[in-house]
Chain A
Amino acid sequence: MQLRKVTAASAAVLALALSATACGSGDKDDSGSSGGGKIKVGIKFDQPGLGLQEPDGSFSGFDVDVATYVAGQLGYKPNQIEFVQTKSADRENALARGDVKFIAATYSITDERKAKVDFAGPYLLAHQDLLVKKDSTIAKGADLNGKKLCSVTGSTSAQNIQQTIAPKANLKEVSTYSECIAGLQSGSVDAVTTDDSILAGFAAQDKYKGQFKLAGLKLSNENYGIGVKKGDTATADKINTALEKMVSDGSWQKAVDKNFGPANYKNEPAPKIGVIVK
Protein backbone atom coordinates (compact mmCIF):
# COMPACT_ATOMS: atom_id res chain seq x y z
CA MET A 1 0.00 0.00 0.00
CA GLN A 2 2.63 2.42 1.13
CA LEU A 3 4.79 1.80 -1.87
CA ARG A 4 2.00 2.76 -4.19
CA LYS A 5 1.82 6.11 -2.49
CA VAL A 6 5.56 6.52 -2.73
CA THR A 7 5.69 5.58 -6.40
CA ALA A 8 2.71 7.78 -7.14
CA ALA A 9 4.37 10.68 -5.39
CA SER A 10 7.71 10.21 -7.10
CA ALA A 11 6.01 9.75 -10.44
CA ALA A 12 4.18 13.02 -9.87
CA VAL A 13 7.41 14.80 -8.97
CA LEU A 14 9.12 13.32 -11.99
CA ALA A 15 6.31 14.37 -14.27
CA LEU A 16 6.40 17.84 -12.78
CA ALA A 17 10.13 18.12 -13.24
CA LEU A 18 9.91 16.92 -16.81
CA SER A 19 7.10 19.27 -17.68
CA ALA A 20 9.02 22.11 -16.04
CA THR A 21 12.00 21.48 -18.29
CA ALA A 22 9.74 20.92 -21.24
CA CYS A 23 8.20 24.32 -20.61
CA GLY A 24 11.67 25.73 -20.46
CA SER A 25 12.48 24.52 -23.93
CA GLY A 26 9.02 25.38 -25.21
CA ASP A 27 9.47 29.00 -24.19
CA LYS A 28 12.33 29.64 -26.47
CA ASP A 29 10.96 28.14 -29.62
CA ASP A 30 8.32 30.78 -30.12
CA SER A 31 10.74 33.68 -29.97
CA GLY A 32 13.68 32.11 -31.79
CA SER A 33 12.28 32.98 -35.19
CA SER A 34 11.46 36.67 -34.97
CA GLY A 35 8.11 38.08 -35.90
CA GLY A 36 5.87 39.76 -33.35
CA GLY A 37 7.02 40.14 -29.79
CA LYS A 38 10.62 39.85 -28.82
CA ILE A 39 14.05 39.57 -30.32
CA LYS A 40 16.81 37.52 -28.74
CA VAL A 41 20.29 38.95 -28.96
CA GLY A 42 23.47 37.24 -27.86
CA ILE A 43 25.99 39.25 -25.84
CA LYS A 44 28.63 38.70 -23.19
CA PHE A 45 27.60 39.14 -19.55
CA ASP A 46 30.98 39.55 -17.91
CA GLN A 47 32.99 42.09 -19.89
CA PRO A 48 32.83 45.62 -18.54
CA GLY A 49 32.72 48.23 -21.30
CA LEU A 50 31.44 45.74 -23.89
CA GLY A 51 28.76 43.51 -22.45
CA LEU A 52 28.12 43.43 -18.72
CA GLN A 53 25.21 42.43 -16.54
CA GLU A 54 24.81 45.27 -14.06
CA PRO A 55 23.75 44.69 -10.44
CA ASP A 56 20.22 45.93 -11.23
CA GLY A 57 19.94 43.27 -13.95
CA SER A 58 20.28 45.68 -16.87
CA PHE A 59 23.06 45.49 -19.43
CA SER A 60 25.74 47.96 -20.38
CA GLY A 61 28.63 48.22 -22.80
CA PHE A 62 29.50 49.02 -26.40
CA ASP A 63 28.28 45.69 -27.77
CA VAL A 64 25.02 46.20 -25.91
CA ASP A 65 24.56 49.71 -27.31
CA VAL A 66 25.31 48.54 -30.85
CA ALA A 67 22.93 45.63 -30.44
CA THR A 68 20.21 47.89 -29.09
CA TYR A 69 20.62 50.36 -31.96
CA VAL A 70 20.59 47.60 -34.57
CA ALA A 71 17.54 45.96 -33.01
CA GLY A 72 15.89 49.38 -33.01
CA GLN A 73 16.51 49.68 -36.75
CA LEU A 74 15.03 46.22 -37.20
CA GLY A 75 11.89 47.50 -35.50
CA TYR A 76 12.27 46.41 -31.90
CA LYS A 77 11.97 48.76 -28.96
CA PRO A 78 14.53 48.35 -26.15
CA ASN A 79 11.96 46.60 -23.97
CA GLN A 80 11.41 44.02 -26.71
CA ILE A 81 15.04 42.94 -26.67
CA GLU A 82 15.97 39.93 -24.63
CA PHE A 83 19.71 39.64 -24.05
CA VAL A 84 21.08 36.12 -23.88
CA GLN A 85 24.51 35.16 -22.64
CA THR A 86 26.50 33.61 -25.49
CA LYS A 87 29.83 32.22 -24.31
CA SER A 88 32.64 32.27 -26.85
CA ALA A 89 32.51 28.54 -27.55
CA ASP A 90 28.73 28.56 -27.97
CA ARG A 91 28.27 31.37 -30.45
CA GLU A 92 28.20 29.45 -33.76
CA ASN A 93 25.87 26.87 -32.30
CA ALA A 94 23.45 29.41 -30.85
CA LEU A 95 23.12 31.04 -34.27
CA ALA A 96 22.82 27.80 -36.20
CA ARG A 97 19.99 26.66 -33.98
CA GLY A 98 18.23 29.98 -34.07
CA ASP A 99 18.50 30.48 -30.31
CA VAL A 100 19.34 34.11 -30.99
CA LYS A 101 18.64 36.38 -33.96
CA PHE A 102 22.09 37.93 -33.94
CA ILE A 103 25.18 38.08 -31.78
CA ALA A 104 27.22 41.11 -30.79
CA ALA A 105 29.73 39.65 -28.37
CA THR A 106 33.34 40.63 -29.18
CA TYR A 107 32.84 38.37 -32.17
CA SER A 108 35.87 38.68 -34.46
CA ILE A 109 35.27 37.96 -38.13
CA THR A 110 37.54 35.09 -39.21
CA ASP A 111 37.53 32.80 -42.23
CA GLU A 112 37.03 29.80 -40.00
CA ARG A 113 33.88 31.28 -38.47
CA LYS A 114 32.63 32.57 -41.81
CA ALA A 115 32.27 28.95 -42.87
CA LYS A 116 29.68 28.44 -40.14
CA VAL A 117 27.92 31.79 -39.76
CA ASP A 118 27.39 34.99 -41.72
CA PHE A 119 28.68 38.32 -40.49
CA ALA A 120 27.44 41.87 -40.74
CA GLY A 121 29.82 44.73 -40.08
CA PRO A 122 32.55 45.02 -38.89
CA TYR A 123 31.54 47.68 -36.40
CA LEU A 124 34.78 47.96 -34.43
CA LEU A 125 38.43 47.26 -35.02
CA ALA A 126 40.23 46.03 -31.93
CA HIS A 127 43.70 44.58 -31.43
CA GLN A 128 45.20 41.97 -29.20
CA ASP A 129 47.15 43.80 -26.53
CA LEU A 130 48.68 43.49 -23.10
CA LEU A 131 47.45 45.00 -19.88
CA VAL A 132 50.28 45.64 -17.45
CA LYS A 133 50.84 47.53 -14.24
CA LYS A 134 51.35 51.27 -14.52
CA ASP A 135 55.07 51.00 -13.76
CA SER A 136 55.71 47.92 -15.88
CA THR A 137 58.71 47.79 -18.23
CA ILE A 138 57.04 45.46 -20.73
CA ALA A 139 57.06 47.45 -23.95
CA LYS A 140 57.04 44.90 -26.74
CA GLY A 141 55.80 41.37 -27.31
CA ALA A 142 59.22 39.75 -26.91
CA ASP A 143 59.54 41.27 -23.43
CA LEU A 144 57.04 38.66 -22.32
CA ASN A 145 59.61 35.87 -22.54
CA GLY A 146 60.21 34.65 -19.00
CA LYS A 147 57.38 36.84 -17.72
CA LYS A 148 54.15 35.63 -16.15
CA LEU A 149 51.21 36.05 -18.49
CA CYS A 150 47.53 35.39 -17.87
CA SER A 151 44.74 34.57 -20.28
CA VAL A 152 41.55 32.55 -20.48
CA THR A 153 41.87 28.80 -21.05
CA GLY A 154 42.08 27.94 -24.74
CA SER A 155 41.86 31.54 -26.01
CA THR A 156 43.38 32.44 -29.36
CA SER A 157 45.26 35.33 -27.77
CA ALA A 158 47.13 32.90 -25.54
CA GLN A 159 47.99 30.66 -28.48
CA ASN A 160 49.18 33.66 -30.47
CA ILE A 161 51.64 34.61 -27.73
CA GLN A 162 52.84 31.07 -27.15
CA GLN A 163 53.31 30.18 -30.79
CA THR A 164 54.74 33.32 -32.28
CA ILE A 165 55.20 36.36 -30.09
CA ALA A 166 56.87 35.08 -26.94
CA PRO A 167 57.16 31.27 -26.75
CA LYS A 168 58.98 31.42 -23.43
CA ALA A 169 56.24 33.32 -21.62
CA ASN A 170 54.98 31.56 -18.49
CA LEU A 171 51.27 31.25 -19.19
CA LYS A 172 48.60 30.98 -16.51
CA GLU A 173 45.19 29.93 -17.79
CA VAL A 174 42.06 30.75 -15.78
CA SER A 175 38.36 30.64 -16.55
CA THR A 176 37.43 34.34 -16.63
CA TYR A 177 39.27 37.58 -17.37
CA SER A 178 38.32 39.11 -14.05
CA GLU A 179 40.45 36.44 -12.38
CA CYS A 180 43.38 37.42 -14.61
CA ILE A 181 42.95 41.07 -13.66
CA ALA A 182 42.81 40.18 -9.97
CA GLY A 183 46.07 38.28 -10.43
CA LEU A 184 47.61 41.27 -12.16
CA GLN A 185 46.61 43.48 -9.25
CA SER A 186 48.00 41.11 -6.63
CA GLY A 187 51.22 40.76 -8.59
CA SER A 188 51.00 37.05 -9.30
CA VAL A 189 51.12 37.73 -13.04
CA ASP A 190 52.96 40.44 -14.98
CA ALA A 191 50.57 40.88 -17.90
CA VAL A 192 47.12 39.94 -19.15
CA THR A 193 46.47 39.43 -22.83
CA THR A 194 43.32 39.62 -24.98
CA ASP A 195 41.63 42.29 -27.12
CA ASP A 196 42.50 45.84 -26.05
CA SER A 197 38.81 46.77 -25.98
CA ILE A 198 38.14 44.13 -23.31
CA LEU A 199 41.25 44.99 -21.30
CA ALA A 200 40.38 48.70 -21.32
CA GLY A 201 36.98 47.95 -19.85
CA PHE A 202 38.47 46.10 -16.91
CA ALA A 203 41.19 48.68 -16.36
CA ALA A 204 38.52 51.37 -16.10
CA GLN A 205 36.65 49.69 -13.24
CA ASP A 206 36.53 51.78 -10.08
CA LYS A 207 38.58 49.36 -8.06
CA TYR A 208 41.37 49.19 -10.62
CA LYS A 209 41.37 52.77 -11.90
CA GLY A 210 44.84 54.21 -12.39
CA GLN A 211 46.66 50.98 -11.61
CA PHE A 212 47.09 49.50 -15.07
CA LYS A 213 47.99 50.60 -18.57
CA LEU A 214 47.62 49.12 -22.04
CA ALA A 215 50.94 48.35 -23.71
CA GLY A 216 49.45 49.48 -27.05
CA LEU A 217 51.15 46.75 -29.08
CA LYS A 218 48.45 45.92 -31.66
CA LEU A 219 49.49 42.28 -31.80
CA SER A 220 46.60 41.37 -34.09
CA ASN A 221 43.56 42.80 -35.86
CA GLU A 222 40.18 41.82 -34.46
CA ASN A 223 37.28 42.92 -36.66
CA TYR A 224 34.20 42.74 -34.47
CA GLY A 225 31.20 41.73 -36.54
CA ILE A 226 27.60 40.91 -35.84
CA GLY A 227 26.97 37.24 -36.37
CA VAL A 228 23.76 35.98 -37.98
CA LYS A 229 22.61 32.56 -39.05
CA LYS A 230 24.39 31.17 -42.10
CA GLY A 231 22.42 32.14 -45.18
CA ASP A 232 20.33 34.80 -43.45
CA THR A 233 21.61 37.50 -45.80
CA ALA A 234 18.40 39.52 -45.47
CA THR A 235 19.07 40.15 -41.78
CA ALA A 236 22.78 40.69 -42.43
CA ASP A 237 21.96 43.34 -45.04
CA LYS A 238 19.52 45.09 -42.72
CA ILE A 239 22.11 45.07 -39.95
CA ASN A 240 24.72 46.51 -42.31
CA THR A 241 22.36 49.34 -43.22
CA ALA A 242 21.68 49.90 -39.53
CA LEU A 243 25.39 49.99 -38.73
CA GLU A 244 26.04 52.47 -41.53
CA LYS A 245 23.29 54.67 -40.18
CA MET A 246 24.63 54.33 -36.66
CA VAL A 247 27.98 55.71 -37.82
CA SER A 248 26.52 58.47 -39.99
CA ASP A 249 24.03 59.79 -37.44
CA GLY A 250 26.68 59.99 -34.74
CA SER A 251 25.23 57.28 -32.50
CA TRP A 252 28.30 55.15 -33.03
CA GLN A 253 30.61 57.88 -31.78
CA LYS A 254 28.27 58.52 -28.87
CA ALA A 255 28.37 54.85 -27.89
CA VAL A 256 32.16 54.88 -28.19
CA ASP A 257 32.46 57.96 -26.00
CA LYS A 258 30.08 56.58 -23.45
CA ASN A 259 31.66 53.16 -23.11
CA PHE A 260 35.30 53.65 -24.01
CA GLY A 261 35.66 57.25 -22.86
CA PRO A 262 35.99 56.43 -19.15
CA ALA A 263 38.45 53.67 -20.01
CA ASN A 264 40.57 56.14 -21.95
CA TYR A 265 40.63 53.58 -24.76
CA LYS A 266 41.79 55.06 -28.02
CA ASN A 267 39.71 53.08 -30.47
CA GLU A 268 40.19 52.93 -34.21
CA PRO A 269 37.82 55.03 -36.32
CA ALA A 270 34.59 53.39 -37.39
CA PRO A 271 35.42 50.61 -39.87
CA LYS A 272 33.85 50.50 -43.30
CA ILE A 273 31.18 47.88 -43.64
CA GLY A 274 32.50 44.78 -45.34
CA VAL A 275 36.15 45.82 -45.11
CA ILE A 276 38.12 43.39 -42.99
CA VAL A 277 41.50 44.54 -41.81
CA LYS A 278 43.78 41.53 -41.94
Chain B
Amino acid sequence: MSSVLYDTPGPRAKRRNLLLSVVFFLLLALLAWWVWQKLDDKGQLKWDLWQPFTTSEAWTTYLLPGLGNTLKAAALAMVIALPLGAVFGIARMSDHAWVRISAGWVVEFFRSIPVLLLMLFAQEFYVRSTDVGSDERPLYAVVTGLVLYNASVLAEVVRAGVLALPKGQTEAAYAIGLRKGQTMTGILLPQAVTVMLPAIVSQLVVVVKDTALGGVMLQFTELLTARGTLAANYANVIPSFVVVAVVFILLNLALTTFASWLERRLRRSKRGTGAVLGAEDVQDLNAAEVAGAFGSGASA
Protein backbone atom coordinates (compact mmCIF):
# COMPACT_ATOMS: atom_id res chain seq x y z
CA MET B 1 0.00 0.00 0.00
CA SER B 2 0.91 3.59 -0.40
CA SER B 3 2.23 4.07 3.10
CA VAL B 4 5.09 1.75 2.20
CA LEU B 5 6.39 4.33 -0.19
CA TYR B 6 7.53 6.63 2.56
CA ASP B 7 8.64 6.53 6.19
CA THR B 8 6.59 7.92 8.97
CA PRO B 9 7.49 11.57 8.45
CA GLY B 10 10.11 13.03 10.74
CA PRO B 11 10.33 16.70 11.65
CA ARG B 12 11.89 17.73 8.35
CA ALA B 13 9.51 15.69 6.24
CA LYS B 14 6.63 17.07 8.26
CA ARG B 15 7.76 20.61 7.52
CA ARG B 16 8.14 19.81 3.84
CA ASN B 17 4.72 18.17 3.69
CA LEU B 18 3.21 21.16 5.41
CA LEU B 19 4.85 23.47 2.89
CA LEU B 20 3.57 21.33 0.03
CA SER B 21 0.12 21.32 1.56
CA VAL B 22 0.12 25.09 1.83
CA VAL B 23 1.33 25.57 -1.74
CA PHE B 24 -1.18 23.07 -3.10
CA PHE B 25 -3.95 24.65 -1.05
CA LEU B 26 -3.07 28.06 -2.41
CA LEU B 27 -3.14 26.71 -5.96
CA LEU B 28 -6.55 25.15 -5.41
CA ALA B 29 -7.83 28.30 -3.75
CA LEU B 30 -6.57 30.35 -6.68
CA LEU B 31 -8.38 28.07 -9.08
CA ALA B 32 -11.57 28.22 -7.04
CA TRP B 33 -11.33 32.00 -6.84
CA TRP B 34 -10.87 32.24 -10.61
CA VAL B 35 -13.86 29.98 -11.23
CA TRP B 36 -16.02 31.97 -8.84
CA GLN B 37 -14.86 35.28 -10.32
CA LYS B 38 -15.62 34.20 -13.88
CA LEU B 39 -19.02 32.82 -12.94
CA ASP B 40 -19.84 36.04 -11.14
CA ASP B 41 -18.52 38.06 -14.06
CA LYS B 42 -20.89 36.35 -16.47
CA GLY B 43 -23.78 36.65 -14.05
CA GLN B 44 -24.03 32.89 -13.54
CA LEU B 45 -24.24 33.16 -9.76
CA LYS B 46 -27.43 35.21 -9.74
CA TRP B 47 -29.91 33.53 -7.48
CA ASP B 48 -32.77 33.60 -9.99
CA LEU B 49 -30.82 31.24 -12.24
CA TRP B 50 -30.49 28.72 -9.44
CA GLN B 51 -33.79 29.38 -7.73
CA PRO B 52 -35.82 27.17 -10.13
CA PHE B 53 -34.10 24.10 -8.71
CA THR B 54 -35.63 24.81 -5.32
CA THR B 55 -39.13 24.60 -6.83
CA SER B 56 -40.79 21.25 -7.13
CA GLU B 57 -41.98 22.07 -10.67
CA ALA B 58 -38.48 22.08 -12.16
CA TRP B 59 -38.09 18.56 -10.90
CA THR B 60 -41.51 17.08 -11.53
CA THR B 61 -41.94 18.59 -15.01
CA TYR B 62 -38.45 18.26 -16.45
CA LEU B 63 -35.73 16.55 -14.45
CA LEU B 64 -37.48 13.63 -12.80
CA PRO B 65 -39.18 12.40 -16.00
CA GLY B 66 -35.75 12.71 -17.66
CA LEU B 67 -34.09 10.80 -14.86
CA GLY B 68 -36.89 8.25 -15.09
CA ASN B 69 -36.08 7.68 -18.76
CA THR B 70 -32.37 7.41 -17.97
CA LEU B 71 -33.06 4.74 -15.38
CA LYS B 72 -35.62 3.00 -17.58
CA ALA B 73 -33.17 2.70 -20.47
CA ALA B 74 -30.39 1.57 -18.15
CA ALA B 75 -32.55 -1.03 -16.41
CA LEU B 76 -34.00 -2.38 -19.65
CA ALA B 77 -30.55 -2.61 -21.20
CA MET B 78 -29.16 -4.44 -18.21
CA VAL B 79 -32.08 -6.86 -17.92
CA ILE B 80 -31.91 -7.79 -21.59
CA ALA B 81 -28.13 -7.84 -21.73
CA LEU B 82 -27.70 -10.18 -18.75
CA PRO B 83 -29.22 -13.37 -20.19
CA LEU B 84 -27.74 -12.57 -23.59
CA GLY B 85 -24.32 -12.05 -22.03
CA ALA B 86 -24.67 -15.29 -20.08
CA VAL B 87 -25.37 -17.22 -23.26
CA PHE B 88 -22.36 -15.79 -25.05
CA GLY B 89 -20.15 -16.12 -21.98
CA ILE B 90 -20.99 -19.82 -21.71
CA ALA B 91 -20.59 -20.26 -25.46
CA ARG B 92 -17.09 -18.89 -25.21
CA MET B 93 -16.23 -21.67 -22.77
CA SER B 94 -17.70 -24.38 -24.98
CA ASP B 95 -15.69 -27.46 -25.78
CA HIS B 96 -16.65 -27.13 -29.43
CA ALA B 97 -14.16 -24.92 -31.18
CA TRP B 98 -16.62 -23.49 -33.70
CA VAL B 99 -19.04 -22.37 -30.97
CA ARG B 100 -16.22 -20.93 -28.88
CA ILE B 101 -14.60 -19.07 -31.74
CA SER B 102 -17.74 -17.66 -33.34
CA ALA B 103 -19.03 -16.50 -29.95
CA GLY B 104 -15.62 -14.95 -29.38
CA TRP B 105 -15.81 -13.06 -32.65
CA VAL B 106 -19.27 -11.69 -31.91
CA VAL B 107 -18.28 -10.59 -28.42
CA GLU B 108 -15.04 -8.95 -29.50
CA PHE B 109 -16.68 -7.27 -32.47
CA PHE B 110 -19.30 -5.50 -30.39
CA ARG B 111 -16.79 -4.59 -27.72
CA SER B 112 -14.50 -2.88 -30.17
CA ILE B 113 -17.18 -0.62 -31.65
CA PRO B 114 -18.17 2.62 -29.95
CA VAL B 115 -21.60 2.47 -28.29
CA LEU B 116 -22.55 5.70 -30.02
CA LEU B 117 -22.11 4.09 -33.44
CA LEU B 118 -24.26 1.15 -32.35
CA MET B 119 -26.98 3.54 -31.19
CA LEU B 120 -26.91 5.63 -34.35
CA PHE B 121 -27.07 2.53 -36.45
CA ALA B 122 -29.94 1.08 -34.43
CA GLN B 123 -31.83 4.37 -34.76
CA GLU B 124 -31.62 4.30 -38.53
CA PHE B 125 -32.41 0.60 -38.60
CA TYR B 126 -35.64 1.17 -36.68
CA VAL B 127 -36.63 4.03 -39.00
CA ARG B 128 -36.19 1.93 -42.12
CA SER B 129 -37.04 -1.61 -41.18
CA THR B 130 -39.61 -1.47 -38.41
CA ASP B 131 -42.69 0.49 -37.50
CA VAL B 132 -41.49 1.50 -34.07
CA GLY B 133 -43.10 4.88 -33.37
CA SER B 134 -41.11 8.07 -33.21
CA ASP B 135 -42.05 8.31 -29.53
CA GLU B 136 -40.27 5.14 -28.54
CA ARG B 137 -37.70 4.96 -31.28
CA PRO B 138 -34.97 6.79 -29.38
CA LEU B 139 -35.51 4.54 -26.36
CA TYR B 140 -35.36 1.44 -28.54
CA ALA B 141 -32.22 2.66 -30.27
CA VAL B 142 -30.50 3.58 -27.03
CA VAL B 143 -31.40 0.28 -25.39
CA THR B 144 -30.36 -1.70 -28.47
CA GLY B 145 -26.96 0.01 -28.56
CA LEU B 146 -26.47 -0.51 -24.84
CA VAL B 147 -27.56 -4.15 -25.00
CA LEU B 148 -25.24 -5.05 -27.88
CA TYR B 149 -22.29 -3.54 -26.12
CA ASN B 150 -23.04 -4.57 -22.55
CA ALA B 151 -24.04 -8.12 -23.42
CA SER B 152 -20.52 -8.46 -24.81
CA VAL B 153 -18.97 -7.06 -21.67
CA LEU B 154 -21.22 -9.20 -19.48
CA ALA B 155 -20.28 -12.26 -21.51
CA GLU B 156 -16.74 -11.63 -20.37
CA VAL B 157 -17.92 -11.04 -16.81
CA VAL B 158 -19.75 -14.37 -16.83
CA ARG B 159 -16.74 -16.13 -18.29
CA ALA B 160 -14.38 -14.53 -15.78
CA GLY B 161 -16.86 -15.35 -12.99
CA VAL B 162 -16.95 -19.02 -13.87
CA LEU B 163 -13.19 -19.17 -14.37
CA ALA B 164 -12.68 -17.52 -10.98
CA LEU B 165 -14.28 -20.48 -9.23
CA PRO B 166 -11.92 -23.05 -7.75
CA LYS B 167 -11.21 -25.92 -10.11
CA GLY B 168 -12.30 -28.38 -7.44
CA GLN B 169 -15.91 -27.41 -8.06
CA THR B 170 -15.84 -28.76 -11.61
CA GLU B 171 -13.83 -31.79 -10.61
CA ALA B 172 -16.19 -32.64 -7.78
CA ALA B 173 -19.16 -32.27 -10.12
CA TYR B 174 -17.60 -34.63 -12.65
CA ALA B 175 -16.69 -37.02 -9.83
CA ILE B 176 -20.32 -37.40 -8.80
CA GLY B 177 -21.22 -38.12 -12.40
CA LEU B 178 -22.71 -34.82 -13.62
CA ARG B 179 -22.42 -34.04 -17.28
CA LYS B 180 -20.95 -30.85 -18.73
CA GLY B 181 -24.28 -29.08 -19.04
CA GLN B 182 -25.35 -30.13 -15.57
CA THR B 183 -22.06 -28.97 -14.10
CA MET B 184 -22.48 -25.56 -15.73
CA THR B 185 -26.11 -24.95 -14.81
CA GLY B 186 -26.18 -26.81 -11.51
CA ILE B 187 -22.80 -26.05 -9.98
CA LEU B 188 -20.81 -23.33 -11.69
CA LEU B 189 -23.33 -20.69 -12.78
CA PRO B 190 -25.19 -20.41 -9.44
CA GLN B 191 -21.89 -19.75 -7.70
CA ALA B 192 -20.66 -17.48 -10.47
CA VAL B 193 -23.75 -15.28 -10.08
CA THR B 194 -22.64 -14.38 -6.56
CA VAL B 195 -19.08 -13.90 -7.72
CA MET B 196 -20.26 -11.54 -10.47
CA LEU B 197 -22.76 -9.44 -8.54
CA PRO B 198 -20.39 -6.57 -7.67
CA ALA B 199 -19.10 -6.48 -11.24
CA ILE B 200 -22.64 -6.34 -12.58
CA VAL B 201 -23.56 -3.45 -10.30
CA SER B 202 -20.43 -1.56 -11.37
CA GLN B 203 -21.34 -2.15 -14.98
CA LEU B 204 -24.63 -0.36 -14.26
CA VAL B 205 -22.62 2.82 -13.71
CA VAL B 206 -21.27 2.52 -17.24
CA VAL B 207 -24.75 1.91 -18.60
CA VAL B 208 -26.24 4.91 -16.79
CA LYS B 209 -23.49 7.15 -18.10
CA ASP B 210 -23.89 5.88 -21.65
CA THR B 211 -27.60 6.70 -21.78
CA ALA B 212 -26.51 10.33 -21.99
CA LEU B 213 -25.11 9.61 -25.46
CA GLY B 214 -28.63 8.92 -26.66
CA GLY B 215 -29.73 12.27 -25.29
CA VAL B 216 -27.51 14.47 -27.40
CA MET B 217 -27.22 12.46 -30.57
CA LEU B 218 -30.59 10.67 -30.75
CA GLN B 219 -32.94 13.11 -28.98
CA PHE B 220 -33.79 10.54 -26.38
CA THR B 221 -35.41 12.55 -23.61
CA GLU B 222 -33.19 11.38 -20.79
CA LEU B 223 -31.84 13.59 -18.04
CA LEU B 224 -29.45 15.54 -20.26
CA THR B 225 -32.10 16.33 -22.87
CA ALA B 226 -34.71 17.17 -20.24
CA ARG B 227 -32.16 19.71 -19.05
CA GLY B 228 -32.43 21.36 -22.49
CA THR B 229 -36.18 21.95 -22.15
CA LEU B 230 -35.64 23.20 -18.63
CA ALA B 231 -32.95 25.62 -19.75
CA ALA B 232 -35.22 26.91 -22.53
CA ASN B 233 -37.66 27.92 -19.81
CA TYR B 234 -35.43 29.34 -17.13
CA ALA B 235 -32.56 30.51 -19.37
CA ASN B 236 -30.01 28.89 -17.07
CA VAL B 237 -27.74 26.76 -19.21
CA ILE B 238 -24.76 26.55 -16.85
CA PRO B 239 -26.68 26.02 -13.59
CA SER B 240 -28.75 23.30 -15.23
CA PHE B 241 -25.58 21.54 -16.32
CA VAL B 242 -24.14 21.70 -12.83
CA VAL B 243 -27.33 20.29 -11.31
CA VAL B 244 -27.54 17.47 -13.84
CA ALA B 245 -23.87 16.59 -13.30
CA VAL B 246 -24.46 16.46 -9.54
CA VAL B 247 -27.45 14.16 -10.03
CA PHE B 248 -25.34 11.82 -12.16
CA ILE B 249 -22.49 11.86 -9.63
CA LEU B 250 -24.77 11.07 -6.69
CA LEU B 251 -26.57 8.31 -8.56
CA ASN B 252 -23.36 6.66 -9.72
CA LEU B 253 -21.59 7.11 -6.39
CA ALA B 254 -24.50 5.31 -4.77
CA LEU B 255 -24.15 2.45 -7.25
CA THR B 256 -20.37 2.28 -6.79
CA THR B 257 -20.67 2.32 -3.03
CA PHE B 258 -23.25 -0.43 -3.18
CA ALA B 259 -21.01 -2.47 -5.47
CA SER B 260 -17.98 -2.22 -3.20
CA TRP B 261 -20.10 -2.95 -0.13
CA LEU B 262 -21.33 -6.07 -1.90
CA GLU B 263 -17.79 -6.96 -2.87
CA ARG B 264 -16.51 -6.62 0.69
CA ARG B 265 -19.40 -8.58 2.07
CA LEU B 266 -18.95 -11.42 -0.40
CA ARG B 267 -15.22 -11.56 0.18
CA ARG B 268 -15.79 -11.87 3.90
CA SER B 269 -18.64 -14.34 3.65
CA LYS B 270 -17.72 -17.81 4.76
CA ARG B 271 -20.28 -19.57 2.64
CA GLY B 272 -18.96 -18.95 -0.83
CA THR B 273 -15.69 -19.94 -2.36
CA GLY B 274 -14.23 -16.53 -1.66
CA ALA B 275 -13.92 -15.75 -5.35
CA VAL B 276 -15.27 -12.29 -6.24
CA LEU B 277 -15.20 -10.16 -9.37
CA GLY B 278 -14.82 -6.57 -8.30
CA ALA B 279 -15.16 -3.17 -9.88
CA GLU B 280 -11.53 -3.15 -10.97
CA ASP B 281 -12.01 -6.26 -13.02
CA VAL B 282 -15.03 -4.92 -14.80
CA GLN B 283 -13.18 -1.74 -15.70
CA ASP B 284 -10.66 -3.74 -17.67
CA LEU B 285 -13.42 -5.65 -19.37
CA ASN B 286 -15.02 -2.47 -20.60
CA ALA B 287 -12.32 -1.90 -23.13
CA ALA B 288 -11.84 -4.34 -25.92
CA GLU B 289 -8.98 -6.62 -25.05
CA VAL B 290 -8.57 -7.33 -28.67
CA ALA B 291 -5.11 -8.63 -27.96
CA GLY B 292 -5.91 -12.01 -26.49
CA ALA B 293 -9.39 -12.00 -27.82
CA PHE B 294 -9.42 -13.76 -31.11
CA GLY B 295 -7.52 -16.64 -29.64
CA SER B 296 -10.11 -17.36 -26.94
CA GLY B 297 -7.54 -17.89 -24.21
CA ALA B 298 -8.56 -16.89 -20.72
CA SER B 299 -7.72 -13.29 -19.95
CA ALA B 300 -5.61 -12.66 -16.92
Contact = CB atoms under 8 A, between A and B. Distances in A.
Q: Do chains A and B touch in the complex (CB under 8 A)?
A: yes
Interface of A: 1-3, 6-7, 10-11, 13-14, 17, 21, 24-25, 28, 45-48, 52-57, 84-87, 89-90, 93-94, 97, 99, 175-179, 181-182, 185-186, 205-208
Contacts of B185: 3
Contacts of B134: 86, 90, 93-94, 97, 99
Given A6-B193, A176-B231, A178-B232, 8 more contacts: A6-B190, A11-B83, A25-B133, A46-B228, A47-B232, A53-B62, A93-B134, A207-B235
A15 B43 CA distance: 50
B299 interface: no
B55 interface: yes
B22 interface: no
Contacts of B119: none
Interface residues of B, number: 43
B39 to A, nearest CB: 11
Nearest to B52: A55
A244 B133 CA distance: 32
Nearest to B82: A10
Given A3-B189, A6-B190, A85-B221, A97 B233 contact: no
Nearest to A46: B232
Contacts of B288: none
A46 to B, nearest CB: 4
Interface in B16-52: 42-43, 48-49, 52
B233 A52 contact: yes
Q: Which of B42, B55, B61, B237 has the most CB of A within 10 A?
A: B237
A177 B139 CA distance: 23
Q: Which of B57, B60, B189, B228 has the most CB of A within 10 A?
A: B228
B228 A175 contact: yes
A10 B83 contact: yes
Nearest to A94: B134
A14 B75 CA distance: 10
B235 A175 contact: no
Q: Which of B80, B134, B190, B233 has the most CB of A within 10 A?
A: B134
A46 B229 CA distance: 5
A178 B228 contact: yes
Contacts of B80: 14, 17
Contacts of B193: 2-3, 6
Interface in B205-232: 216, 219, 221, 228-229, 231-232
B58 interface: yes
Q: Is the interface of B mostly helix, strand, loop or mixed?
A: helix
Q: Which of B55, B58, B76 has the most CB of A within 10 A?
A: B76
Nearest to B77: A17
B284 interface: no
Nearest to A15: B79
Contacts of A185: 43
Contacts of A25: 132-133, 136
A181 B232 CA distance: 10
A52 B216 CA distance: 19
Interface string B113-135: 00000000000000100011111
B238 interface: yes
A256 to B, nearest CB: 21
A241 B61 CA distance: 35
B186 interface: yes
B135 to A, nearest CB: 6
Contacts of B189: 3, 6
A14 B83 contact: yes
Contacts of A47: 232
B300 to A, nearest CB: 27
B216 to A, nearest CB: 6
A87 B123 CA distance: 15
A85 B221 CA distance: 10
B186 A3 contact: yes
B136 A24 contact: yes
Contacts of A55: 52, 55, 57-58, 61-62, 233
Q: Which of B57, B131, B133 has the most CB of A within 10 A?
A: B133
A91 to B, nearest CB: 9
